[in-house]
């Protein structure tokens, strides 16, 4: 099928858009705004739309949140307005609610236990119903358009004699993905939903405690990694130390988003006790075992596919070669205004080395294909650089369904694997051969026990019932309703 014949609206960047990054810290005697800043800085890959930090000295909550990267929002002079030894931080990619400053997190909410600030990574799929219920039951007024505002209202107003009872109440009502950092004026609360869809970990730092989306944030701060939070777990940290409880309704196995293993988490982060880098090497090795091919060199599409390519090359006993150089100072291609500019953006972002490529049979490794924009342009560049053959191997299965739990995965009409066969995609991208990792190979590589990991975007089977597609801007039409 030619490009002109394609019915697919293939646009934007060819990767799932990241989840959000969250950090919480309780370190007596320390200026926590700076600690939170550097924790967020290590999680910038998880969201680039807005950033925010809330802190407390024990009397009230101070907040700064606005659009922009972490380094753009926070300067030295900003830190002076964020005093205290307790704080939470958030860096956002919007998955429900528009990319607007009023949706920048942490969000504040008020209730019988006083004011709280909330940072959220994930997506609550019953937020629309809960908005109506909270307005009727507690008189909640919503003036923002994200599901996080619903979560904040529940935690602020829910009944309970302590945060464990409040969290149990919230978990009974919330459906979907939510790793949370919550703070009062003198306590830090961390929550991971009963499915464990998004990661969250706990560490020690200078006599205090820190929680973060990924262990890479702990490493960046020089913190000691303690453990990953369990699914359905609530942790409360204050001057008396750390207390923890697992909600009684939690399922036996987690259902972590498997894309954390494939792409989202930094390769130097621990997931389920193992470096994501090692898991990604196994993903690459698995796809080669399933779909071997003769080639002269293995090439990864930098940077996210490099570990997968290294693992594939080792399994194939074919040299891994850096044949594509990535300009790390080029902006993300999905911000370009039209398809022509996006295509030119991909060419600006990557530059093939003709002297390495010319006359060679290439085995090109990508971690995933969503719309196909990037891989199509890469194949064209490699052809122009003189590649003799181009064989593409994808270290994840075909993405055939949308995500409902905190990943902007594109619509069904934009997912190329939901609309074309593998053979049609191969012709469309211009490769000599194309093969994807099987779902069974994926689960072997991530060493998943039965019923662990959400693979809904590959299989259409989700850990809880979901509607076919969700509109992340559904609340934008009538905020406050």
Q: Which residues are catalytic?
A: 20
Phi, psi values for residue 39, rounded to 5°: -65, -45
For the chain, the 3-state helix, strand and coil shares in percent, each to the nearest 5, are 30, 25, 45
* CA distances (Å), origin 270, targets 54, 215, 244, 308, 421: 26, 6, 21, 16, 35
From first CA to last CA, the distance across the chain in angstroms is: 46
Question: How many Å apart are CA 293 and CA 399, to the nearest integer?
Answer: 23
Do the Cβ atoms of 455 and 195 come closer than 8 Å? no
Q: Rounded to 5 degrees, what are φ and ψ at 425?
A: -65, -40
Question: Of the candidates 201, 304, 196, 294, which has an alpha carbon nearest to the alpha carbon of residue 251?
Answer: 196
C-alpha pair distances (Å), 442 with each of 55, 213, 298: 41, 23, 20
Q: To 10 degrees, what angle do helices 306-316 and 276-290 make?
A: 50
CA atoms within 13 A on the CB side of 75: 2
Main-chain dihedrals φ then ψ at residue 38, nearest 5 degrees: -70, -30
- Residues 156 and 167: their CA atoms lie apart, in Å, by 10
CA 364 and chain centroid, separation: 24
SS (H, E, C) 22-73: EEEEECCCCCHHHHHHHHHHCCHHHCCCEEEEEEECCCCEEEEEEECCHHHH
CA–CA separation, 187 vs 209, rounded Å? 11
The answer to whether residues 419 and 413 touch, using CB atoms and an 8 Å cutoff, is yes
The answer to whether 209 and 26 have CB atoms below 8 angstroms apart is yes
d(CA 131, CA 270): 35
Q: CA triplet 86, 87, 90: central angle to 5 degrees?
A: 165
The H-or-E segment that residue 159 falls in is none
**Residue recorded with tokens 């940077």:** 303
CA distance 134 to 36: 31
Provide the 3-class DSSP secondary structure of residue 340. Answer: helix
What element of type H or E holds 89? strand 86-92
């Amino acid at each position: 099928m030619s490009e002109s014949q394609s019915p697919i609206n293939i646009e934007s960047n060819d990767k799932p858009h990241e989840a959000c990054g969250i950090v919480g810290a309780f370190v007596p005697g320390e200026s926590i705004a700076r600690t939170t800043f550097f924790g967020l800085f290590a999680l910038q890959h998880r969201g680039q739309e807005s950033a925010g930090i809330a802190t407390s000295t024990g009397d009230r909550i101070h907040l700064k949140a606005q659009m922009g990267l972490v380094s753009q929002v926070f300067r030295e002079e900003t830190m002076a307005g964020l005093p205290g030894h307790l704080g939470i931080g958030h860096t956002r990619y919007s998955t429900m609610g528009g990319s607007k400053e009023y949706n920048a997190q942490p969000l504040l909410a008020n209730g019988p236990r006083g004011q709280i600030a909330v940072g959220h990574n994930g997506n609550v799929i019953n937020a629309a119903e809960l908005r109506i219920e909270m307005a009727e039951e507690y008189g909640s007024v919503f003036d923002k358009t994200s599901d996080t505002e619903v979560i904040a209202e529940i935690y602020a107003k829910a009944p309970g004699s302590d945060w464990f009872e409040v969290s149990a109440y919230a978990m009974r009502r919330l459906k979907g993905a939510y790793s949370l950092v919550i703070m009062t004026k003198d306590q830090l609360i961390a929550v991971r939903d009963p499915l464990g869809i998004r990661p969250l970990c706990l560490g020690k730092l200078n006599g205090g405690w820190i929680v973060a989306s990924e262990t890479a944030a702990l490493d960046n701060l020089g913190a000691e990694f303690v453990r990953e939070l369990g699914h359905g777990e609530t942790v409360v940290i204050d001057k008396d130390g750390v207390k923890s409880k697992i909600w009684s309704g939690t399922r036996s196995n987690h259902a972590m988003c498997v894309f954390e293993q494939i792409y989202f988490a930094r390769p130097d982060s621990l997931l389920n006790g193992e470096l994501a880098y090692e898991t990604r090497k196994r993903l690459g090795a698995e796809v080669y075992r399933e779909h071997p091919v003769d080639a002269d060199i293995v090439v990864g599409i930098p940077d996210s596919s490099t570990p997968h390519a290294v693992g594939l090359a080792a399994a194939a006993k074919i040299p891994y070669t850096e044949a594509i150089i990535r300009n790390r100072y080029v902006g993300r291609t999905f911000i370009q205004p039209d398809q022509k500019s996006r295509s030119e953006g991909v060419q600006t972002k990557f530059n093939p080395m003709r002297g390495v490529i010319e006359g060679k049979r290439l085995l090109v490794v990508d971690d995933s294909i969503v719309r196909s924009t990037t891989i199509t342009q890469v194949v064209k560049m490699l052809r122009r650089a003189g590649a003799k053959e181009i064989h593409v191997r994808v270290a994840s299965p075909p993405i055939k369904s949308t995500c409902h739990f905190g990943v902007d995965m594109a619509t069904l009409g934009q997912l190329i694997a939901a609309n074309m066969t593998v053979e049609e995609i191969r012709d469309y991208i211009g490769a000599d051969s194309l093969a994807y990792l099987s779902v069974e190979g994926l689960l072997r590589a991530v060493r998943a026990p039965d019923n662990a990991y959400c693979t809904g975007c590959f299989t259409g089977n989700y850990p809880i019932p979901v509607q076919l597609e969700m509109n992340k801007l559904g609340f934008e039409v009538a905020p406050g309703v």
